[in-house]
Structure 1
Amino acid sequence: MDDWIAIGEAVLPIFALIALGGVLKYLPLLDAKGWAAMDRVVYWVLFPALLFASVARADLAGVSLGFMAGGMIATVLVMTFLLFLIARAMKTARPARSSLVMGGIRFNTFLGVAIAEQALGETGITLAAICIAIMVPTVNVISVWTLQRGTPGGGLLRTVGALLQNPLILACVFGAVVNLSGVEPEPVLMTGVDLLGQAALPLGLIAVGAGLAFETLRRHRDLLLVGITAKMLVQPTLGFALLYLTGLDDAALVVAVLWLALPAAPSSYVMARTLGGDAPLMAALLTSQVIVSVITLPLLLGLLS
């Protein structure tokens, strides 16, 4: 019982900040351009600072990176295949099929890092950074392939170029370089980086709440049910089975399975809108998954603990 109370106390503030963002969006504080600017600051400045500092100081010796990466990537590939089969069986149009796949495999980085940090402290942030390095390239390549499959050009080279410029990936890479070099980072510099990183999670979670679109939930009920079940139940269950067999240590197993159970990222809506997916379905999946995750993520943490 005490474990469940501790999990609730850790996760409740996270979802409270998301709810705060949902309320603030309707107040005359920021317009759409203001919220978009905040998203960019968090994504390009604050969050990379948090990840860089964590990876630069982390003890990576005890993490089975190969097993962790292999298990997570295999899980996502299997889920992509299953969702395609389900979408074709439901005779879903190509744009909706692409959005359904993205809703089943993409993840909300801000929420994942926040929960990992609350559950495991600095170790959680380090493991979350590893998940980002593994999963960002994987899900972006699959997403572009599903969106532009069969269209001229395909966009794969643009995707690879974007990944090489992704600030989260670059922050993880630079942090790993500093870590493996054995050079002690300049204390004054790291203090500034730490201050930036401290602002990343609260502002990122508020931005998640501001991006919810409740008006979209009345549509696509069958596809919403498939997308929620696949992301919140099937994928973490499959991931746990595969990762457990690899013999991951407890902390890495918890964060990896948590990552596979996260609701999809707001960037999925932008991709669906600009690359030919079903944008209204994507917005509905994003919103419904965040709502359901209020229940599923604490339950998952309780079961894994």
Structure 2
Amino acid sequence: MNQWIATGEAVLPIFGLIALGAVLRRLPLLDEKGWAGLDRIVYWVFFPALLFASVARADLQGVAVGWMAAAMIGTVVAMTALLYVVSRFLGAGKPARASLVMGGIRFNTFLGVAIAEQTYGATGVTLAAICIAIMVPTVNVISVWTLQQGTPGGGILRTVGSLFQNPLILACLFGAVVNLARVEPEPVLMTAVDLLGQASLPLGLIAVGAGLTFDTLRTHGRLLATGIVAKMLIQPALGFGFLLAAGLSAPTLVIALMWLALPAAPSSYVMARTLGGDAPLMAALLTAQVIVAVVTLPLLLGFLS
């Protein structure tokens, strides 16, 4: 019982910040451009600073990165295939099918890193950075494949190229270079980087809450329910089997499984709107999954503890 209480104490404040973001968005503090600017600063400055510092200092010995990657990618590929079959059975068109797949495999990075940090501290942030390095390329390639089949100007090659412009991937790569070179970063520089990183999680979580759109929950009944069950229940169940078979250590298994159980990322809505997905369905999935995650993620972490 004490472990369940400790899990709740660690995770529920995170959702409190998300709720605060939902309230602040409805107050006359920032306009649309102001919130968009906050998103960009967190994504391009604060969050990369946190990941760079974590990876640069990380002790990666004992982390079975290869097996972890195989298990997580295997889970996502299996989930994609399952959602394709289910969406065809439900009679969903290509736009809805693409949004359903994205809602089933994409993840909210801010929420994941915040929970990892609260659960395992610096070790958790390092494992979260590994999850980002594994999963960002995987889910982006699959997402574009589902959205842009036959679309001029898009495609897998363009997506792969864009990954090398992703600030989160670049931060992990630069941190890994510093780590492997065994270079001691300049203390003054790293202090500044640490200060930037400390701002990323609270601001990122507030931005998550600000992006919730509750008015979209009244539509897309069957597809919305399918996306919630697939993401919050079926994918973690599949992932648990793959990760257990990989023989991962406890912290690695917990963070990897938590990552697979995260609600989808707000960037999924932008992709759906600009690349031909079902944007209203995507918006509904994003909001509903965050609401459901308030219950499922503490339960999952409590069970694993």
> In the TM superposition, what whole-angstrom CA distance separates every residue of 1:274-293 from its partner, at most 9, and x where no partner exists?
00000000000000000000
Contact kept in structure 1, 2:149 and 2:155, CA below 8 Å: no
- Could you tell me which runs of 5 or more consecutive residues in structure 2 were left unpaired when the two chains were aligned: none
- Aligned amino acid, residue 124 of structure 2: G
1:227 corresponds to which residue?
Answer: 227
2:115 corresponds to which residue?
Answer: 115
Residue 60 of structure 1, CA deviation: 0.3
> In the TM superposition, what whole-angstrom CA distance separates every residue of 1:23-49 from its partner, at most 9, and x where no partner exists?
000111000000000000000000000
Residue 155 of structure 1, CA deviation: 2.1
Contact kept in structure 2, 1:145 and 1:154, CA below 8 Å: no
Residue 150 of structure 1, CA deviation: 3.4
What SS does the aligned partner of 2:102 have? helix
Residue 160 of structure 1, CA deviation: 1.3
Tell me how far apart the structure 1 counterparts of residues 98 and 2 of structure 2 sit (CA, whole Å). 42
Contact kept in structure 1, 2:51 and 2:129, CA below 8 Å: yes
Instruction: Report how many aligned residue pairs link the two structures.
Output: 305
> In the TM superposition, what whole-angstrom CA distance separates every residue of 1:150-184 from its partner, at most 9, and x where no partner exists?
33454222211210100000000000000010111
Residue 5 of structure 1, CA deviation: 0.6
- Aligned amino acid, residue 93 of structure 1: G
1:288 corresponds to which residue?
Answer: 288
- Aligned amino acid, residue 33 of structure 2: K
1:132 corresponds to which residue?
Answer: 132
- Could you tell me which runs of 5 or more consecutive residues in structure 1 were left unpaired when the two chains were aligned: none
2:88 corresponds to which residue?
Answer: 88
Residue 12 of structure 1, CA deviation: 1.2
> In the TM superposition, what whole-angstrom CA distance separates every residue of 1:174-211 from its partner, at most 9, and x where no partner exists?
00000010111110000000000000000000000000
What SS does the aligned partner of 1:14 have? helix
> In the TM superposition, what whole-angstrom CA distance separates every residue of 1:65-112 from its partner, at most 9, and x where no partner exists?
000000000000000000000000111011000000000000000000
1:15 corresponds to which residue?
Answer: 15
Tell me how far apart the structure 1 counterparts of residues 154 and 271 of structure 2 sit (CA, whole Å). 14
1:191 corresponds to which residue?
Answer: 191
Tell me how far apart the structure 2 counterparts of residues 194 and 235 of structure 1 sit (CA, whole Å). 34
- Aligned amino acid, residue 286 of structure 1: L
Tell me how far apart the structure 2 counterparts of residues 178 and 26 of structure 1 sit (CA, whole Å). 42
1:161 corresponds to which residue?
Answer: 161
Tell me how far apart the structure 2 counterparts of residues 198 and 154 of structure 1 sit (CA, whole Å). 36
Tell me how far apart the structure 1 counterparts of residues 131 and 80 of structure 2 sit (CA, whole Å). 18
Tell me how far apart the structure 2 counterparts of residues 298 and 251 of structure 1 sit (CA, whole Å). 16
Give the share of equivalent positions with the same residue, in percent: 76
1:130-279 alignment runs, 5 A limit:
130-279=130-279
> In the TM superposition, what whole-angstrom CA distance separates every residue of 1:192-250 from its partner, at most 9, and x where no partner exists?
00000000000000000000000000000101110000000000110010111111000
Contact kept in structure 2, 1:224 and 1:285, CA below 8 Å: yes
Contact kept in structure 1, 2:50 and 2:194, CA below 8 Å: yes
Tell me how far apart the structure 2 counterparts of residues 83 and 18 of structure 1 sit (CA, whole Å). 28
Tell me how far apart the structure 2 counterparts of residues 288 and 249 of structure 1 sit (CA, whole Å). 32
What SS does the aligned partner of 2:212 have? coil
Tell me how far apart the structure 1 counterparts of residues 155 and 64 of structure 2 sit (CA, whole Å). 33
Matched, 1:66 2:59: no
1:3 corresponds to which residue?
Answer: 3
